[in-house]
């Protein structure tokens, strides 16, 4: 099967572990597969494929739990695993959905899908070690909601998924690691080290394609960004910001200065 068609087939898979394994396998096989960058693929029903559980509820209805109990820590790990499962879907969606991009674009997002799949696997294994499974806690659908909103424009997708939603993960991870360390969960801290390292690269990919698309359309990436945030109702960025990770991920000095001024 052609590469983008196969990414769509994997996106439609409902079982998380099978989807994660298939996403990693697709990246391995990608160099031997046909890639049609120009074909516009008709959207099928049933996107994304997902299991019956977890139950999806509004963001504010997801209960917050203390990480200083086993169940509370499991709920926190579950929430991160849910983000990583959705991140597999988002990366696969970028591959099949947006025609007319350079071949490197699709290979970049296949790599992201494979790394998100690794993250999900690490978290899922740790969650099971705590006596729970993926689906045992309620979750929200905020990441896929933004994918739907930006489905018609690859520039908006690059602006508002990797360099907004994923970049928020760069900010959130160190405080989360500190909390888990206080709770005595060193394995979770180690897994988040892997995730943070890889997410810097994912945000960097988003930054690179966002800027390239802005150049091609004759748009100012700095001025355009707040307009996109307003148009697509993206979450507003809130401190504390992980400025070092954001700089490593390719945010410009002007963007870093703007964030620093808002702290």
110-154 tens-digit pLDDT? 999 999 999 999 999 999 999 999 999 999 998 999 999 999 999
Which residues have a Cβ under 8 Å from the Cβ of 183 and sit 6 or more positions away? 67, 68, 73
Q: What is the pTM of this model?
A: 0.96
CATH architecture assigned to 3-38+61-262: Up-down Bundle (1.20)
Cβ contacts of residue 230 below 8 Å, gap of 6+? none
Q: What is the pLDDT of residues 1-26, one digit of tens each?
A: 899 999 999 999 999 999 999 999 99
Provide the residue ranges of all domains of the chain, joining segments of one domain with +.
3-38+61-262
Task: Give, in degrees to the nearest 5, the angle at Cα 110 between 45 and 48.
Answer: 20
């Amino acid at each position: 099967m052609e590469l983008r068609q196969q990414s769509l087939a994997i996106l439609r898979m409902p079982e998380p572990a099978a989807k994660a394994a298939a996403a990693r396998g697709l990246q391995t096989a990608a160099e031997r597969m046909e890639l049609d960058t120009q074909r516009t693929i008709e959207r099928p029903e049933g996107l994304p494929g997902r299991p019956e559980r977890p139950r999806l509820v509004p963001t504010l209805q997801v209960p917050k739990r203390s990480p200083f109990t086993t169940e509370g820590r499991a709920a926190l790990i579950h929430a991160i695993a849910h983000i990583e499962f959705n991140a597999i879907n988002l990366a696969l969606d970028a591959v099949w959905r947006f025609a007319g991009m350079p071949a490197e674009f699709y290979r970049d997002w296949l790599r992201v899908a494979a790394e998100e799949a690794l993250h999900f696997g690490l978290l899922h294994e740790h969650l099971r070690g705590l006596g729970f499974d993926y689906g045992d806690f309620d979750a929200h659908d905020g990441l896929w909601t933004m994918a739907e909103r930006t489905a018609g424009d690859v520039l908006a997708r690059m602006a508002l998924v990797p360099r907004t939603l994923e970049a928020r993960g760069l900010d959130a991870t160190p405080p989360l690691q500190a909390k888990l360390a206080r709770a005595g969960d060193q394995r979770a801290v180690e897994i988040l080290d892997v995730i943070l390292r890889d997410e810097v690269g994912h945000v960097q990919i988003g930054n690179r394609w966002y800027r390239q698309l802005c150049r091609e359309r004759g748009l100012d990436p700095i001025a355009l960004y707040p307009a996109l945030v307003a148009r697509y109702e993206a979450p507003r960025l809130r401190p504390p910001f992980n400025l070092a990770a954001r700089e490593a991920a390719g945010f410009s000095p002007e963007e870093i200065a703007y964030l620093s001024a808002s702290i």
